[in-house]
Amino acid sequence: NGAQERGRIMMKYADLVEQHAEELTLLESLDAGKPRMATRAVDLGTSVRSLRYFAGAADKIHGETLKMSRQFQGHTLREPIGVAGLIIPWNFPAIMFFSKVAPALAAGCTMVVKPAEQTPLSALYFAHLAKQAGVPDGVINVITGFGPTAGAAIASHMDVDMVSFTGSTSVGRLVMEASARSNLKPVSLELGGKSPLIVFDDADVDMAVGLAISANFFNKGEACVAASRVYLQEGIYDGFVKKLAQRMESWVVGDPFDPRVNQGPQVDKVQCERVLSYIDHGKREGATVLTGGKPCGQSGYYIEPTVFTDVKDDMIIAKEEIFGPVMCLMKFRTVEEAIARANDTRYGLAAGVVTKDIDVANRMTRSIRAGVVWVNCYFAMDSDCPFGGRKMSGFGKDDGMHALDKFLAVKSVVTPVYDSPWL
């Protein structure tokens, strides 16, 4: 379809998602164990905003005039790259569906979407609504299945023109390998993280504690940007630890359909056991459990939100992505030390800085090697804000106008100029 027509259909699609938000919220909570209230406000709200944002971008994709020699004139075209393979994770099924589908639609691509096998329900419902919105048959194709079969088929298919993948670093490697062995399709990867939250002595302690809790325990800690490495300057450490312990006493783990609940179950048994194994590692390595540290309840995949103190940078819980409700507290002294330790990781997805000193904030944001740095906030994401990592957290951007780049091919068009009076 033409760009304006694509934008119109996308706006209708967004309206339908909003109209069916309650059903979609139930599906997300059933599939992923997310608290219903947060899912309705965050996941579905973000999905609708993403669709509307890229609906407005659909007719604003254009090339540029080239500054060539006087004998030639040239311009560029930005064309749909073709068939996009979109592989999405289980931690934010709705948000990740539209962070990839919306820019692909705006660019004019067709797509094959594979949701995670743990959380396929919302993607199937979104496909149903797409048809109602007027998206032509064959444009959005949702296939369910497992990574080693369905996901691998997308990554290795000779007629898929690009792949956008969000998931673990280990699987991201497999996607790149499959691309290299097939048609050398371009790949965009949003992978794991081990993000630092750095709190300086001048920070408001209550605000810093609140940010640390949301940065670690939102979505049960199942977030690639979770700030599981919390560095506290020595002067604030004791007060922070005391208030954190107090705040966690009122944290409620349980049925995600209960409005009083802050944290639901981990997505499945495999993930629950993986997180518990990391908690056991922390105990064996000598870290001290401040709160939590064990399963919660008699059944289900519930884990107490766990805070470790006395954590060292070389401990497994401080180095590896846990993807669960586990926070590691560590002390630092100087700005230089904070920068060095924040960057001492193979990942580079996100970071947080809490300080009232603008000079410290500016120095930290320019020194930390990560795709996004939040100052005095965390999880502040928006459709207009490019999101993606560096190092082993991947490359390419979701959200913002940069998200369109991976779905567009740039073509240069050059023609000679004959007998022009201005030559």
Q: Quick one: pLDDT at residue 297?
A: 85
Q: Quick one: pLDDT at residue 422?
A: 67
- What's phi and psi for 382, nearest 5 deg? -150, 155
The answer to whether residues 308 and 288 touch, using CB atoms and an 8 Å cutoff, is yes
Q: Quick one: pLDDT at residue 420?
A: 77
Contacts of 270 by beta carbon, 8 Å cutoff, 6+ apart: none
- HSE on the CB side for 239, CA within 13 Å? 14
d(CA 285, CA 278): 10
Cα Rg of the chain (Å, integer): 23
Please give the CATH architecture assigned to the domain spanning 3-191+389-413. 3-Layer(aba) Sandwich (3.40)
Q: Quick one: pLDDT at residue 423?
A: 64
The structural domains of the chain, with segments of one domain joined by +, span 3-191+389-413, 196-375
pLDDT along the chain (423 residues), means of 10: 92 97 95 92 95 96 91 95 98 97 98 97 97 97 97 98 97 97 98 97 97 96 95 97 97 94 95 97 97 92 97 97 97 98 97 98 98 97 95 96 97 91 69
Mind telling me the catalytic residues? 190
Q: Quick one: pLDDT at residue 387?
A: 96
Structure tokens at 152: 């691998």
Residues 352-399: tens digit of each pLDDT: 999 999 999 999 999 999 999 999 999 999 999 999 999 999 999 999
The answer to whether residues 163 and 179 touch, using CB atoms and an 8 Å cutoff, is yes
Its CATH class, for the domain covering 196-375, is alpha beta
Q: Quick one: pLDDT at residue 289?
A: 98
Count CB-CB contacts under 10 A for residue 4.
Answer: 10
Residues 117-128: tens digit of each pLDDT: 999 999 999 999
